[in-house]
Amino acid sequence: MKDQNDKRTRELIDPPKRGPGRPKTGEAMTPAERQRAYRERNAGHQAWVRPTRQLERAKQLIEAELAEMTSGRSDFGRPYHRNRASGMADMALVLGVLTQDEYAALNDKIRDA
């Protein structure tokens, strides 16, 4: 042991250094607790969707395309037209332009052509 008043002599064993990183507090949350807290914070929040002019324009274009397809003037016999019509019907269903029944009827018409 070293004398308390001795300032020149070094310690034989250096005191242990603290490891890298932030010290542990012992109050860490488990992943399940963090997820529960996140869900509680966001419980009343609904997904926010901003209506845009592009969405409205897309709906108008799809409605026009559907009107042309259902009028009988459209040529579903060619694969390109059939694929395009099917894709338009899918988008119309997603955007709420078509109901599920209208979508099924239109798909039957496209497939039978």
Task: Dump pLDDT digits (tens) for 20-31.
Answer: 988 888 899 999
Total number of domains constituting the chain? 1
Domain assignment present for residue 91? The answer is yes
Q: What are the DSSP calls for 37-88, one per residue?
A: HHHHHTTT--------HHHHHHHHHHHHHHHHHHTT-S-TTSHHHHHHHHHH
Domain assignment present for residue 11? The answer is no
Domain assignment present for residue 27? The answer is no
Q: How far is CA 58 from the centre of its chain?
A: 21
Domain assignment present for residue 18? The answer is no
Domain assignment present for residue 41? The answer is no
| pLDDT tens, position by position, 61-95 | 777 777 776 676 656 556 656 677 778 778 778 87
| pLDDT tens, position by position, 5-60 | 887 877 777 778 888 988 888 899 999 999 999 989 888 777 666 666 766 777 77
Domain assignment present for residue 71? The answer is yes
Classify each residue of 37-70 as buried b or exposed e, where b means 16 or more C-beta atoms within 10 Å of its C-beta.
Answer: eeeeeeeeeeeeeeeeeeeeeeeeebeebbeebe
Handedness of CA 35, 40, 46, 50 (dihedral sign): negative
Domain assignment present for residue 97? The answer is yes
Q: What is the predicted pLDDT for the residue at 100?
A: 86
Question: Helix (H, G, I), strand (E, B), or coil: what is residue 94?
Answer: helix
Domain assignment present for residue 32? The answer is no
Q: For residue 71, give its domain range.
A: 53-112
